[in-house]
Every structure is written in structure tokens, then in C-alpha cells.
């Protein structure tokens, strides 16, 4: 027996922490840490839906696996972009001016 308020509260706090991390970081690699925290909050919600017995087709176990896989693919591509930007500009500071101009050329 478990009370469902715990998982819901944990998911809300994890998502809030992740959003704060995305907003506060200037290092492009560390923005991904916040994204991972947001996604783990989503995972907690999905598995809590399974624990309450309200899902069909084992969606509470299968959809988290999909989310984890998509997150891994997203991190790989994002880090490749960060490395390419670092090679070109010599910095991964997201506040550096000229970032929009680089995209236009």
C-alpha cells in the first residue's frame, strides 16, 4: 500500500528542479542535466500511473522505456551539436553574443 501523493509530489519537485537548472546554467553541457531531471520527473509519473493499476497494455512500464531511449538519442545529438559549436566558436557559453548571427551565416 502506498499513498499516491508521494510520487506526484516527487515528480513536481523534480520537474521544477530541472526547469530551474535549465534556466540558471550558462554552460551548454550542464543544461542537459536539467533536461534529464525533467524527464525523470515524467518517468516517475508514468510508473505511478502503473502502480495505481490504471494502465492498459502495460503502458506504465513500456512508455518509460521509450522515454529513456528517446532521451538517450536526444542527449547524443545535443552533445554532438555542443562539440561542433565549441570547435567553431571556442566557447560553450550560452550568453555569449553572436550566437544568433552564427546561425545565419
Partner 1 sequence: MTPLDVAFAACGLLAVVGGVLAVSTRHVVRAALWLVVALLGVAGALLVLGGELVALVLVLVYVGAVVVLVLFALMLTRAPIGPDRAHAAGPWRAAGAAALGAATAGLLATVLVPLADGTVAVADVPSSAVAEQLFGTWVWPFELLSLLLLAALVGALAVARSRPAPSGAAAGEAAGEVP
Asked if 100 touches partner 1 (CB under 8 A), the answer is no
- Nearest approach in angstroms of CB 38 to partner 1 is 9
Binders of partner 1 in range 11-30 (CB under 8 A): 11-21, 23-27, 29-30
- Contact pick of 1, 100, 103, 104 for partner 1 (by CB under 8 A): 1
Do 85 and 28 touch, CB atoms closer than 8 A? Answer: yes
> What span, in angstroms and rounded, lies between the C-alpha atoms of 17 and 51?
24
Supply the minimum distance, in Å, between the C-beta of residue 66 and partner 1.
Answer: 6
**Can you tell me the distance from the alpha carbon of 85 to that of 102, in angstroms, rounded to the nearest whole number?**
10
From residue 38 to residue 77, what is the string marking binding to partner 1 with x (rule CB under 8 A)?
--x--xxx-xx-xxxx---xxxxxx-xxx-xxxxxxxxxx
Contact between 104 and partner 1 per CB under 8 A: no
φ and ψ at 79, to 5 degrees? -70, -35
Nearest distance from C-beta of residue 105 to partner 1, angstroms = 7
Residue by residue, DSSP assigns 13-42 as HHHHHHHHHHHH--BHHHHHHHHHHHHHHH
Amino acid at each position: 500500500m502506498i499513498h499516491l501523493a508521494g510520487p506526484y509530489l516527487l515528480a513536481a519537485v523534480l520537474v521544477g528542479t530541472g526547469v530551474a537548472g535549465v534556466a540558471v546554467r550558462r554552460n551548454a553541457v550542464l543544461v542537459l542535466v536539467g533536461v534529464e531531471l525533467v524527464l525523470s520527473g515524467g518517468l516517475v509519473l508514468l510508473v505511478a500511473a502503473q502502480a495505481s493499476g490504471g494502465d492498459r497494455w502495460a503502458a506504465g512500464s513500456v512508455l518509460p522505456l521509450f522515454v529513456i531511449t528517446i532521451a538517450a538519442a536526444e542527449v547524443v545529438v545535443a552533445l554532438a551539436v555542443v562539440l561542433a559549436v565549441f570547435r567553431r566558436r571556442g566557447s560553450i557559453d550560452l550568453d555569449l553574443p553572436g550566437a544568433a548571427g552564427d546561425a545565419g551565416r
